[in-house]
Amino acid sequence: MGHREDLLAGAKRCLLEKGWSRTTARDIVAASGANLASIGYHYGSKDTLMREALFAAMSDWADEVQASLAQDATADGEVTERFASGWSRALELVGKHQAMWRAQLEAVMQAEHDPALREAFDRAQPEARQALVGLFHGIDGREVDEETTRVLGSFSMTLVSGMVVQQALNPGLTPDARDLIEAMRRILGGGPPDPSA
């Protein structure tokens, strides 16, 4: 690996260990074995390097989602079965990658004051939504059309974003697949079940 790759690997490691806002350029240099000037030479700034590190870590998560899809036995099951399987896998993978999701939450909060970071998140949205449709519906996200991405992908993104925040605050209150399916049934059916029935 060259200095550029070493810096990216070091920044990813710092991002996962220290988070978005606590990582300094000196931390990255120490983790990568590169020198301070090489950050500016290869990336222009620490912020640019951190953005690349965050999106590389998120890409690693997406790759794991794809690998999980390839092993899913419920891809041909009914809608609720596929959703339950996808939500369970999402919970597992979010739990496994808590450090990355915490760093992402920090970065999202910074994006309001960092136009380049906000733009990077905007560019990543369509692909992320496609991947989530794949996760929850047992199909390859690359085969999802634009309208499905807009409707189902946006719904899935909203669910996962809420899950990430809930997992960060109190994992015990994060609903499982069964609870979410029941909530959707109640919403679509007009309310809670009649206790006298």
Q: What is the pLDDT of residues 98-139, one digit of tens each?
A: 999 999 999 999 999 999 999 999 999 998 898 888 878 777
| 14 found inside a domain | no
| 70 found inside a domain | yes
| 66 found inside a domain | yes
47 has pLDDT over 90: yes
∠ CA 136-74-131 to the nearest 5 degrees? 25
Structure tokens at 45: 């700034």
Q: Which domain holds residue 151?
A: 51-189
| 185 found inside a domain | yes
Residue 13, judged by CB atoms within 10 A of its CB (0-12, 13-18, 19+), counts as: middle
Instruction: Output the pLDDT for position 73.
Output: 56
52, 43 in Cβ contact below 8 A?
yes
The pTM score is 0.82
- Type of residue found at 24: T
Span 26-35, pLDDT tens digits:
999 999 999 9
- The tally of domains found in the chain comes to 1
